[in-house]
């Protein structure tokens, strides 16, 4: 391989690191190739693209200069960080989020900022104030959300890897719909400092990559305790490079509550899921039914807890300190017009839901009850992991749906996170890998494990990935 006869954007990030280290190409050549691809993006995946490459990384930088696309939810010093919202349009923070800074120090310079659902509230990337992102497999369909821009950029080949956030499925669900890998780490293992808050007890940063090896490589540099984040607990040990080719001795639990018929999961998605279970058995895994009895209540609990935290976190956007300000001759009028014009419909809906559930006379009935359900869900997972190594489900109930198909019905949009929300409420790690197609569109297979089991999840996902042999080139061909 050499830079003169290979399209560098076809390489996985790990292969690009190896190529730079071997001298087959330079970090500058890799950055320039991706910068050109990002600048030519016509999926609306990017909201900002770097003008030029930074100085070359040190020779021992573990990520070797392979650039990184970053969701608009992360603060980046001097670079627009808008959370997909008009209320922060043009905002350039005076500091950089810890995880972005860690990755830059490890040799992953900022390539661009990616589009997203406003304040990470959405499952289709249609809630962005800057327009929807298109799915590279089919431009008439959504890429998933809220990290849809990051997922689409990786799938389309305009980024080697990307940073996303996951509150109730916002890494895993778009990864499934775009045919890539998405990992939500154990809550607290990656710093939230500088990540614009949606729901602080749920938000977690994670990688979106072309394969499992890339996810492990990026995650290794992301984890770590940060004194600026009081919820940061770091990671015991080091994230290793996955290498398993067998699932011998692995016990997979399949919860009826998240994978059975009659749950609104499309037949094609169930077909690819069951085919993947057969592959797992062929690799030596034991597959049995398990129970998560409180999982059916997860979505309802999530849509009390997350909006409640959002109503508190988004109170800071008042037109006084930073962001948009609509003058009205008086303080109350300024607050009202700034927030009504600055926030989109979905964000206002969730603020109102959250404020209501926290209000006097309703707090215990809604917020308190939801917290108790959250505890029960965590206990269900703990019980399941007493018997099984991993719990496995379809990642999303459908493949990518058409743009506009669910925007008029919030509930039909919310159920896209039915299979991912329980893991978020429990704070446990989960990964989505592409496992096949439904009507020519990719589907995802989700593996979840106990807290801090990322290495074992990555190994199992790697073994399955090799057996599945998913062809991700279709997304790139469709862009031609």
DSSP line for 63-106: TTT--EEEETTB-BTTB---TT-GGGTT---SS--HHHHHHHHT
For residue 348, give the 3-state DSSP assignment. Answer: helix
User: Does 116 map to a domain?
Assistant: yes
User: Does 213 map to a domain?
Assistant: yes
Give the Cα separation of 356 and 361 in Å (integer).
10
Same domain, 277 and 299: no
In this predicted model, what pLDDT tens digit does every residue of 145-177 receive, in sequence order? 999 999 999 999 999 999 999 999 999 999 999
Model confidence at 27: pLDDT above 50 = yes
Share of the chain above pLDDT 70, in %: 98
Question: What's the average model confidence in pLDDT over 123-127?
Answer: 98
Question: What's the average model confidence in pLDDT over 255-275?
Answer: 94
User: Does 3 map to a domain?
Assistant: no
Dihedral sign computed on CA atoms, order 71, 74, 77, 78:
positive
pLDDT at 4: 47
Model confidence at 257: pLDDT above 50 = yes
For residue 165, give the 3-state DSSP assignment. Answer: strand
Same domain, 390 and 242: yes
Please say whether the beta carbons of 370 and 395 come within 8 A.
no
* Total domains, the chain: 2
Model confidence at 252: pLDDT above 70 = yes
Give the Cα separation of 62 and 440 in Å (integer).
37
User: Does 245 map to a domain?
Assistant: yes
Residue 356: DSSP 8-state: H
Half-sphere exposure of 100 (CA within 13 A, CB side): 28
Among residues 377, 397, 424, the one where a domain terminates is 377
pLDDT at 480: 58
DSSP line for 442-456: EEEEEEE-STT-HHH
pTM of the model: 0.96
Give the Cα separation of 344 and 84 in Å (integer).
10
pLDDT at 6: 67
Instruction: Give the mean pLDDT of the chain.
Output: 95
The number of beta carbons lying within 10 Å of the beta carbon of residue 277 is 18
- Which residue in 431, 425, 333, 336 sits closest to 391, CA to CA? 431
pLDDT at 52: 84
Same domain, 55 and 153: yes
Among residues 377, 396, 428, the one where a domain terminates is 377
Q: How confident is the model at residue 329 (pLDDT cuts 50, 70, 90)?
A: confident
Same domain, 14 and 100: yes
Give the Cα separation of 69 and 48 in Å (integer).
10
In this predicted model, what pLDDT tens digit does every residue of 49-99 receive, in sequence order? 999 878 878 889 999 999 999 999 999 999 999 999 999 999 999 999 999
Same domain, 233 and 322: no
- Which residue in 206, 160, 210 sits closest to 20, CA to CA? 160
Q: How confident is the model at residue 1 (pLDDT cuts 50, 70, 90)?
A: very low
Of 5-14, 119-128, 175-184, the poorest mean pLDDT is in 5-14
User: Does 136 map to a domain?
Assistant: yes
pLDDT at 472: 83
- Which residue in 145, 210, 180 sits closest to 401, CA to CA? 145
For residue 237, give the 3-state DSSP assignment. Answer: coil
Same domain, 211 and 247: yes
Question: What's the average model confidence in pLDDT over 425-442?
Answer: 98
User: Does 270 map to a domain?
Assistant: yes
Question: What's the average model confidence in pLDDT over 118-126?
Answer: 98
Dihedral sign computed on CA atoms, order 326, 332, 336, 342:
positive
Same domain, 321 and 232: no
DSSP line for 108-157: --EEEEE--SGGG--SSS---TT-PPPBTTBTTB---SSSHHHHHHHHHT
To which H or E segment does residue 183 belong? strand 181-184
Model confidence at 387: pLDDT above 50 = yes
User: Does 440 map to a domain?
Assistant: yes
Same domain, 354 and 471: no
- Which residue in 110, 235, 201 sits closest to 160, CA to CA? 110
Question: Which residues are part of the catalytic machinery?
Answer: 71, 146, 170
Model confidence at 239: pLDDT above 50 = yes
User: Does 2 map to a domain?
Assistant: no
Same domain, 212 and 345: no
Same domain, 91 and 137: yes
Q: Which residues of 107-126 are buried (b: 16+ CB within 10 A; e: fewer)?
A: bbbbbbbbbbbbbbbbbbbb
Same domain, 318 and 426: no
Could you list the residue range(s) of the whole structural domain that residue 385 is in?
A: 8-294+378-477
Model confidence at 407: pLDDT above 80 = yes
In this predicted model, what pLDDT tens digit does every residue of 444-474 receive, in sequence order? 999 999 999 999 999 999 999 999 999 887 7
CATH number reported for the structural domain that contains residue 77 in this entry: 3.90.1300.10
- Which residue in 33, 11, 5, 40 sits closest to 480, CA to CA? 40
Q: What is the dihedral of CA 421, 423, 427, 429, to 10 degrees?
A: -130
Please say whether the beta carbons of 395 and 422 come within 8 A.
no
Same domain, 273 and 335: no
Among residues 313, 344, 377, the one where a domain terminates is 377
pLDDT at 5: 52
């Amino acid at each position: 391989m050499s830079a003169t006869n290979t399209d560098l954007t076809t390489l996985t990030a790990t292969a690009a690191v190896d190529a730079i280290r071997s001298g087959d190409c330079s970090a500058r050549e890799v950055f320039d190739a991706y910068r050109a691809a990002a600048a030519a993006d016509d999926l609306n995946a990017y909201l900002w693209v770097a003008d030029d490459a930074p100085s070359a990384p040190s020779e021992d930088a573990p990520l070797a200069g392979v650039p990184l696309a970053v969701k608009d939810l992360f603060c980046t010093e001097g670079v627009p960080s808008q959370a997909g919202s008009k209320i922060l349009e043009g905002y350039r923070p005076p500091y950089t989020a810890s995880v972005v800074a860690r990755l830059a120090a490890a040799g992953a310079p900022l390539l661009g900022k990616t589009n997203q659902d406003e304040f990470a509230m959405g499952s289709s990337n249609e809630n962005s104030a800057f327009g929807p992102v298109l799915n590279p497999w089919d431009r008439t369909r959504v890429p998933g959300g809220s990290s849809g821009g990051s997922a689409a950029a990786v799938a389309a080949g305009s980024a080697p890897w990307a940073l996303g956030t996951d509150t109730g499925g916002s890494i895993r669900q778009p990864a499934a719909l775009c045919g890539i890998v998405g990992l939500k780490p154990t809550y607290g293992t990656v710093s939230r400092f500088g990540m614009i808050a949606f729901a602080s007890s749920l938000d977690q940063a994670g990688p979106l990559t072309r394969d499992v090896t890339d996810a492990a490589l990026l995650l290794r540099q992301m984890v770590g305790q940060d004194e600026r984040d009081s919820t940061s607990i770091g990671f015991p040990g080091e994230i290793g490079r996955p290498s398993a080719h067998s699932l011998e001795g692995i016990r997979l639990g399949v919860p009826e509550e998240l994978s059975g018929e009659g749950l609104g999961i499309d037949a094609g998605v169930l077909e690819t899921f069951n085919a993947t279970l057969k592959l797992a058995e062929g690799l030596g895994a034991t597959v049995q039914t398990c129970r998560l009895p409180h999982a059916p209540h997860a979505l309802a609990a999530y849509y009390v807890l997350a909006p409640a935290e959002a109503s508190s976190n988004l109170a800071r956007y008042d037109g006084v300190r930073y962001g948009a300000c609509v003058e009205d001759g008086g303080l109350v009028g300024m607050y009202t017009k700034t927030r009504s014009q600055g926030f989109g419909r979905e964000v206002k809906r969730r603020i109102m839901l959250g404020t209501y559930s926290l209000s006097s006379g309703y707090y215990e009935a809604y917020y308190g009850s939801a917290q108790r359900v959250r505890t029960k869900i965590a206990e269900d997972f703990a019980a399941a992991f007493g018997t099984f190594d991993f719990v496995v489900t379809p990642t999303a109930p459908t493949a990518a749906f058409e743009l506009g198909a669910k925007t008029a019905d919030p509930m039909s949009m919310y159920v896209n996170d039915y299979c991912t929300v329980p893991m978020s409420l429990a704070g446990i790690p989960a990964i989505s890998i592409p496992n096949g197609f439904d009507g020519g569109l990719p589907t995802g297979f989700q593996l979840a494990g106990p807290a801090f089991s990322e290495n074992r999840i990555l190994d199992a996902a790697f073994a399955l990935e090799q057996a599945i042999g998913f062809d991700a080139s279709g997304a790139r061909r469709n862009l031609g």
